[in-house]
Amino acid sequence: MHPEAPASEPDRVLMQARVLWLALLAGPLALFGVIAFLIATGKLPPSDDEQVKRMLAWLSGAVLLILVPMAYLLRRHIHGHVRAANPEAPLPGRVLLRGQIAFGALCEAAAIVGLVAAIGRGTLMPTGLLALVAIGVQAANFPARVD
């Protein structure tokens, strides 16, 4: 048996970032699946109140348009403090992970709001689609490397 070589610090941080990425995606994806199942089986009937349905759709869209750009800005801000001090140095692992957590949490929040709105509306359109946009943004930001 060969002893396993200890992982380097960048490799360890990258693995932690990927685990966080997956964990923050799992919740909204699971909730989407449950809601889709309930709607498809008729266990979650559409709401009769058109005003509430309209308000939930607008709220879901507004939250998406606010939180997703905020996620990018906050991550840049978190990383920027370290980059400003030493632009050539790689980001320390704790800073990289802090940015990953903030980014993922804001995308997850936008997705959850869209999915809760889908529950209130009794349909996945359009709020479930908006939730999928937030989930897609987060999925597209898979941690590929550590500086």
Please give the average per-residue pLDDT across 16-39, as a whole number: 96
Average pLDDT across the chain, whole number: 92
Q: Report pLDDT digits (tens) over 79-125.
A: 998 888 888 888 888 999 999 999 999 999 999 999 999 999 999 99
The residue ranges of every structural domain in the chain are: 9-140
pLDDT level of residue 10 (50, 70, 90 thresholds): confident
Lookup: tokens for 81: 């403090």
Lookup: tokens for 128: 């479930």
Confidence at residue 43, expressed as pLDDT on a 0 to 100 scale: 95
Among residues 91, 67, 71, which one has the least CA distance to residue 79? 91
Enter the pTM of the model.
0.90
